[in-house]
Structure formats: C-alpha cells, structure tokens
C-alpha cells in the first residue's frame, strides 16, 4: 500500500503517531489516538491501525504498552515492576519484588534512554510530584541506584515503616528530607538516614492522559 491509498483518517492517524513519537519517544495510547483523530470507538482505532500495519506504515507489539511505532523506530522494552506512591508513603512491596510479569513492558525510543541494562518502570499513585509534571497514573522510568545527589527524584524504601514513596532527595545536617513537588504537602523528615533505602533514580516520565480509577489500596 502506498500513502496515496490511505483514507484521510488513516493518513491523519499515521501523521499523529509519527509526530507524537518524535516529540515523546513513545507512542500515543489508543484513547489518545481516538480523541485526537475524532474516532468514535477503540475498535475503529484498532481496525485502522491494523490497516496501517498491513500497509507497512507502522509496527505493533500487542504485548507491550504503547507498542505502536513508526516502521523505522528503534524501541527498547522497559519492564513495569509495580507501583510507587507519590503522596504519603504506602505499604506496598518494594521495587525488588515485581508485581507484574515479564511480559508487562513499555516501548521507548532507544535514543531517549541511557544505555544502562537494568532500567525499570513503576506506575505512580498520588499527586505529590505534580509540580515536577509527574501525575497519578504516569509511568516513571528509573535507573537502579543505591545513592542519590541532593535534588534528584528517587524511589525510596523506608525500612522502619516498610513503606515506599517517590520524592526529591536531600541530605541535610545528618538527616534526610524527602521533598514533594506539591505546595499543599509537607516534606518527610527522616532523622536516621539508615532507614532510607534508595531503590532507583528517575530518568524519564511517561505521561498518561487517561487518569486511572484505582481500586482499593494494595496491602503489603
């Protein structure tokens, strides 16, 4: 199929996917495509994506979140391990205990990621980092780290509480300050730095325009 054989809707979808990928390094969701192009249902989005795929204009990986890509794009799958609280610390399993299977992954442009092999993704719960453009339902991609510099956004495991949180890290006068990026929330002050275990440093945020409706909180 050549581009002249595309319907106006398919041509608009193709351009939107290419432009979105160029701007973000990953593909739009089906719902984002539906809203942008004015398509009435997800089934119509899927049908037209199949037509674009058969015509050789894009590739799709149904086992990967946002697995649509322009044909020439080079993607890297990043495994989604679980959730991270961006609010009050929450007693969910630490990031060393994956909640999702190995088939759960995000597809991200290799050009936007560091070359580290062990990058992983977490799903954000809460709005304590909204001024850092990290919202409830977004994905954060992290590099495994055990130390952090002041001002870095990190996933932290609080050993004494058995709770986890996503915050800016600061070490000041012998204690740790975990700073939210939300003026309505107060920082978490940890007098004993040994209770703070850094699990990863945020290297990228993947926005989710469709905000989730969470079920009841996870228990540890």
Radius of gyration of the chain (CA): 19
Model's pTM, two decimal places?
Answer: 0.67
- In CATH terms, is domain 75-206 a member of 2.10.109.10? yes
Residue written as token pair 């952090």: 148
Which of these is catalytic: 15, 29, 109, 128? 128
pLDDT score of 167: 96
Instruction: Give the strand pairing for 175-179 and 188-190.
Output: antiparallel
Looking at per-residue pLDDT, the higher value among 213 and 90 belongs to 90
30-37 and 42-54 helices, crossing angle to 10°: 100
**What are 17-74's pLDDT values in tens digits?**
888 888 887 888 888 899 999 998 989 998 998 888 888 888 877 666 677 777 766 7
pLDDT, residue 93, reads 58
Mean pLDDT rounded to a whole number for the chain: 83
Tell me which of 43, 167, 216, 219 is the catalytic residue.
Answer: 167
pLDDT-derived band at 128, boundaries 50, 70, 90: very high
Catalytic residue list contains 128: yes
Mean pLDDT value of segment 112-116: 77
In terms of Cα–Cα distance, which of 198, 157, 193 is closest to 175?
193
Give the residue extent of every domain in the chain: 3-70, 75-206
Query: pLDDT grade, residue 116 (50/70/90)?
Result: confident
The answer to whether residue 211 scores a pLDDT higher than 80 is no
Structure confidence at residue 148 as a pLDDT band (50, 70, 90): very high
Structure tokens at 117: 């092999």
Q: What is the pLDDT of residue 216?
A: 38
Exposed, middle or buried by CB within 10 Å (0-12, 13-18, 19+), for 113?
A: middle
Share of the chain above pLDDT 90, in %: 36
Under the banding of pLDDT at 50, 70 and 90, the label for residue 220 is very low
Residues in the chain: 220
CATH of domain 3-70: 1.10.10.10
Determine the Cα–Cα distance for residues 62 and 67; give it in Å rounded to an integer.
6
Helix (H, G, I), strand (E, B) or coil at 4: helix
């Amino acid at each position: 199929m050549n581009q002249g054989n595309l319907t106006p809707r398919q041509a608009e979808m193709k351009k939107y996917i290419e432009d979105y990928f160029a701007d973000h390094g990953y593909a739009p969701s089906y719902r984002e495509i539906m809203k942008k192009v004015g398509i009435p249902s997800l089934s119509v989005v899927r049908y037209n994506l199949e037509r674009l795929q058969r015509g050789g204009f894009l590739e799709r990986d149904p086992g990967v979140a946002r697995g649509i890509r322009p044909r020439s794009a080079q993607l890297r799958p990043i495994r989604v391990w679980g959730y991270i609280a961006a609010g009050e610390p929450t007693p969910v399993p630490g990031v060393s205990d994956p909640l999702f299977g190995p088939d759960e992954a995000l597809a991200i442009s290799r050009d936007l990621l560091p070359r580290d092999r062990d990058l992983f993704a977490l799903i954000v719960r809460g709005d304590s980092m909204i001024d850092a453009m990290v919202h409830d339902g977004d994905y954060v991609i992290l590099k495994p780290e055990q130390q952090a510099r002041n001002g870095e956004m990190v996933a932290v495991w609080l050993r004494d509480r058995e709770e986890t949180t996503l915050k800016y890290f600061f070490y000041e006068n012998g204690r740790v300050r975990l700073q939210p990026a939300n003026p309505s929330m107060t920082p978490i002050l940890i007098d004993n730095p040994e209770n703070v275990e850094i699990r990863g440093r945020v290297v990228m945020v993947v926005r989710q325009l469709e905000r989730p409706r969470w079920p009841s909180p996870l228990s540890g």
